[in-house]
Amino acid sequence: MKRFIGFVQKEFYHIFRDRRSLFILFGMPVAQIMLFGFAITNEINNVDIAILDRSQDASTKEIISKISSSEYFSILQHIKEEAEIEEVFKKGRVKAVLYFEKEFSKKLIKQHTAKVQIVTDATDPNVANTISNYINSILSHYQEEQNRAITQDYQIIPQSRMVYNAELKSVYMFVPGVMTVILMLVSAMMTSISITREKELGTMEILLVSPLNPVQVIIGKVFPYIFLSIINAAAIVILSIFVFHVPVKGSLFLLGLESVLFIVTSLALGILISTISATQQTAMMISLMGLMLPVILLSGFIFPISSMPVPLQVISNIVPAKWFIIIVKGIMLKGVGIHIVWKETLVLLGMTLLFIGLSVRKYKIRLE
């Protein structure tokens, strides 16, 4: 036990005396959550749009006033010709153009159908999609009001409602993802680097020629990172609750347990990486390329898994982060308990045992 404490103490010296690892450990989580929370966002607010109104009648005026009074849009300019549409997009400020056809009001009353075209700047497809959805919903609102006045039978009005994130706040979606990325980064990359550092500096040679057995060395190396990762996870949750007002609907205790499980999964991966890489640089490259990219791209963090090609959907199953994100979203946003996420938990547990088994088998008690 004394040996273990001595070893862990040494690890903490390493961590606290190395500014780079300190920054990764504590600067990154805060920086990332702030970045994703404030800067990288899919929400729309005061988007500049332009209007091309060919009818200039009561209906279009009412629709335009509804749009301009919403907090989502502000009307930057009115244009006269279709040819001007491209021009305003090229200037860059206008993200959408609303194009009402001629005799809008008349057509609406007589033929019960009138056309309005929503032209969006799809250089950022997510934003374009959101804008068009928002405008659609304003239009359907208007339609609903009109229909009430003229009482037509059997009108089916589709109504979509966003649940769990009714306000479409993107920070709700990012918190589970950022938490996953950070825990993976801290746990896997930092442990693999700290173990390979011993190899690179030759101290592993001395540790091997000592009564410490491999399990003691590994647990000693990993323990500080378990501890620091838990602090990080807690910091992220606290930041999301108090800065971004993300609700935690489920049990905080369960969230904590699942996070510890995922931390152990990542640490096991880190150990596995360290057994196959000889230098810190290799360990870092493998961690970044082999772990971070799948975590960001294939876990459902940024791109929904359901919209991926089938082969990628299959591959996403072996990314531990995918399962953790499902669990975190479930607990934080939907408030579900273990009876819902037990399957994902079991998958994660199985992966963890597999990684630990593999790294124990691959760990060398000698230099070759």
Partner 1 sequence: MSIHIDHISKSYGKVNALDDISIQVDPGELFGLIGPDGAGKTTLFRILTTLLLPDHGSASVAGYDIIADFKAIRKQVGYMPGRFSLYQDLTVEENLRFFATIFGTTIAENYDLIRDIYVQIEPFKNRRAGKLSGGMKQKLALSCALIHKPKVLFLDEPTTGVDPVSRKEFWEMLKRLQAKGITILVSTPYMDEAALCDRIALIQDGRILEIDTPKAIVEHYPKPIFDVGAHNTYLLIEKLNAYVHKHSVFPFGEYIHYTDQRDGFDPLELRAYLKNEGLQNIHIERTKATIEDTFMELAKQ
The binding site for partner 1 (CB under 8 A) comprises: 2-3, 5-7, 9-10, 13-14, 17-18, 201-203, 205-213, 365-368
Nearest distance from residue 218's CB to partner 1, in Å? 14
Nearer to partner 1, 9 or 56 (CB): 9
Nearest distance from residue 20's CB to partner 1, in Å? 12
For residue 62, give both structure tokens: 């009412």
Nearest distance from residue 3's CB to partner 1, in Å? 5
Q: What does the alpha-carbon distance between residue 225 and residue 99 come to, in Å, rounded to a whole number?
A: 57
Nearer to partner 1, 10 or 106 (CB): 10
Nearer to partner 1, 201 or 314 (CB): 201
Nearest distance from residue 205's CB to partner 1, in Å? 5
Nearest distance from residue 306's CB to partner 1, in Å? 48
Nearer to partner 1, 6 or 27 (CB): 6
Nearer to partner 1, 141 or 364 (CB): 364
Nearest distance from residue 2's CB to partner 1, in Å? 6
Nearer to partner 1, 191 or 266 (CB): 191
Nearer to partner 1, 30 or 208 (CB): 208
Residue 304: name the closest of 42, 48, 96 by CA: 42
Nearest distance from residue 199's CB to partner 1, in Å? 11
Nearer to partner 1, 1 or 156 (CB): 1
Residue 176: name the closest of 129, 244, 264, 267 by CA: 244
Q: What does the alpha-carbon distance between residue 350 and residue 95 come to, in Å, rounded to a whole number?
A: 47
Nearest distance from residue 192's CB to partner 1, in Å? 18
